[in-house]
């Protein structure tokens, strides 16, 4: 009787331990027998999504500051100017010139005929503008008066390179491309050639006309 009273508590304790070990192994709060289990998730600490990687500064779109001219507008104006300058020295021919370059002049029944413009290959003032602006995707009307009415008028004092300056009523007498620093590219008159010259202030319209 004395031995059985000692052995029974030992057997009962061993039995409880053997039952607890598998239960602990199956419970995620206790981890694994062979190593730590996954950390329990808490409803009070939801997973925080990672922020998307920051775009490198070199790839971010650039917005021109307020008041500054768009780089695209600057580029188009320079295309127009360069295309006009490429024709320096080409003969004046009344009615000559289109989007592709100089063409044969036409008769005017007056001064141009006396200079034989109808037998020359070249530009008149508006023909040079038609050619220059076509390079920037701007297709102008053919005569200086129509070009004057087609664009945006700005005060002459606010002119910038790429604007067009006009002469005579409604701009019908002459047109020249402003290139900056008080200079223009123009095809001035019969007997002359395409040239760079200072602005002629006599008879000039009080506005410049802007297309780019």
pTM value? 0.68
Query: Which residues are catalytically annotated?
Result: 125, 174, 186
Cα-Cα end-to-end distance for the chain: 115
User: What is the pLDDT at residue 69?
Assistant: 59
User: Cα angle at 103 between 100 and 106, to 5 degrees?
Assistant: 140
Q: Are 180 and 167 in contact (CB under 8 A)?
A: no
pLDDT grade for 37, boundaries at 50, 70 and 90: very low
For residue range 146-171, what is the model confidence (pLDDT) as tens digits?
A: 999 999 999 999 999 999 999 999 99
Domain locations along the chain: 71-210
For residue range 65-106, what is the model confidence (pLDDT) as tens digits?
A: 334 457 787 799 999 999 999 999 999 999 999 999 999 999
3-state secondary structure of 59: helix
The sign of the torsion formed by the CA atoms of 170, 175, 176, 182 equals: negative
- For the domain made up of 71-210, the CATH class stated in words is alpha beta
Angle, to 10 degrees, between the axis of helix 71-85 and the axis of helix 125-134? 130
């Amino acid at each position: 009787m004395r031995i059985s009273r000692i052995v029974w508590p030992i057997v009962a304790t061993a039995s409880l331990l053997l039952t607890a070990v598998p239960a602990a192994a199956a419970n995620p709060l206790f981890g694994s027998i062979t190593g730590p289990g996954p950390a329990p998730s808490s409803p009070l600490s939801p997973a925080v999504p990672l922020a998307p990687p920051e775009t490198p500064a070199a790839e971010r779109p650039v917005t021109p500051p307020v008041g500054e001219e768009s780089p695209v507008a600057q580029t188009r104006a320079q295309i127009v100017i360069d295309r006009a300058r490429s024709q320096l020295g080409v003969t004046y021919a009344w009615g000559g010139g289109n989007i592709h370059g100089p063409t044969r002049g036409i008769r005017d029944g007056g001064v141009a005929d006396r200079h034989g413009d109808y037998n020359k290959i070249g530009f008149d003032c508006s023909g040079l503008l038609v050619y220059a602006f076509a390079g920037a995707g701007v297709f102008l009307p053919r005569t200086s008066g129509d070009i004057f009415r087609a664009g945006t008028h700005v005060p002459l004092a606010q002119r910038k390179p790429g604007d067009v300056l006009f002469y005579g009523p409604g701009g019908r007498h002459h047109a020249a491309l402003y290139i900056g620093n008080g200079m223009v590219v123009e095809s001035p008159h019969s007997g002359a050639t395409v040239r760079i010259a200072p602005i002629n202030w006599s008879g000039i319209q009080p506005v410049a006309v802007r297309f780019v």
